[in-house]
Structures are given as structure tokens and as C-alpha cells.
């Protein structure tokens, strides 16, 4: 069974940092792109970043460029999102998502981890 389990969310002050982790199981992580998608309270999903199967390519939404870094360790079946210089508008549930095919379609989602940026 494909599973993606996020951890690392919590309450952080503006300007602070958090590192999210995504533990993958039930499939060969190294065969898939992985995305992070966030959803602010009451809003629709927003794509944040993705990373290629071997980590050779990364992409970010403009609003997080220079502040967030996506990475992966296929040997540990894990994907990470390092979030620095956090802002109130980064408050959201962050989902780890397995990408299927070439057009960013997500076929499996984690349960999400809540990040709250507030003083």
C-alpha cells in the first residue's frame, strides 16, 4: 500500500524555520517526482515545490523561492522541505504528494502536517 507520512509541522514565529519530512513506503520512491502542496485554511491547494527522481531538478513557486528548499534521500525513502524566513502567509497544511506522469498529476497524497506562523 502506498503511504506518505508527513511530520515536522507546528507553531513557529515569523522569521523562523521548520523542516518538514515525508516518509514514503509501499513503492519505489526513486522512480517518482515528489511535490509539496499546501492548503491555507479555507482555501484551495497551492503547489509549492517539486523534485526529480534523483534530486537533479527542483522547482518552486515564486512566493517561496530563496526561502524554501526541497530535498530527498531515496536511501531513507524520505523527502524534505526546509522552510526558512517563514511568514504568516505560509500558514497552511502541507501535503507531500507523489507525482504520476509528466504533468504534475498527484496520484497519492499524505495526510498533511499543519504549519502555523504566528507570534
Partner 1 sequence: EIVLTQSPATLSLSPGERATLSCRASQSVSSYLAWYQQKPGQAPRLLIYDASNRATGISARFSGSGSGTDFTLTISSLEPEDVAVYYCQYRRTFGGGTKVEIK
Chain residues that interact with partner 1, rule: CB under 8 A: 44-47, 59, 61, 95, 100-101, 103-112
Q: Which is nearer to partner 1, 23 or 61 (CB)?
A: 61
CB of 16 to partner 1, least distance (A): 25
d(CA 75, CA 59): 22
* Residue 88 DSSP one-character state: G
Nearest Cα neighbor of 13 from 96, 113, 83 is 83
Nearest Cα neighbor of 40 from 83, 82, 92 is 92
Copy the grid coordinates of residue 77.
525513502
CB of 112 to partner 1, least distance (A): 6
CB of 15 to partner 1, least distance (A): 27
Q: Which is nearer to partner 1, 80 or 95 (CB)?
A: 95
Q: Which is nearer to partner 1, 36 or 80 (CB)?
A: 36
Amino acid at each position: 500500500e502506498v503511504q506518505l507520512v508527513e511530520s515536522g509541522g507546528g507553531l513557529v514565529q515569523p522569521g523562523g524555520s521548520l523542516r518538514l519530512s515525508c516518509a514514503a513506503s509501499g513503492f519505489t520512491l526513486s522512480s517518482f517526482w515528489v511535490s509539496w502542496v499546501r492548503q491555507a485554511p479555507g482555501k484551495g491547494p497551492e503547489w509549492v515545490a517539486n523534485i526529480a527522481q534523483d534530486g537533479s531538478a527542483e522547482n518552486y513557486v515564486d512566493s517561496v523561492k530563496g526561502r524554501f528548499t526541497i530535498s530527498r534521500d531515496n536511501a531513507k525513502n524520505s523527502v524534505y522541505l526546509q522552510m526558512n524566513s517563514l511568514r504568516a502567509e505560509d500558514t497552511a497544511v502541507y501535503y507531500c504528494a507523489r507525482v504520476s506522469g509528466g504533468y504534475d498529476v498527484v496520484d497519492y497524497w499524505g495526510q498533511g502536517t499543519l504549519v502555523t506562523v504566528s507570534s
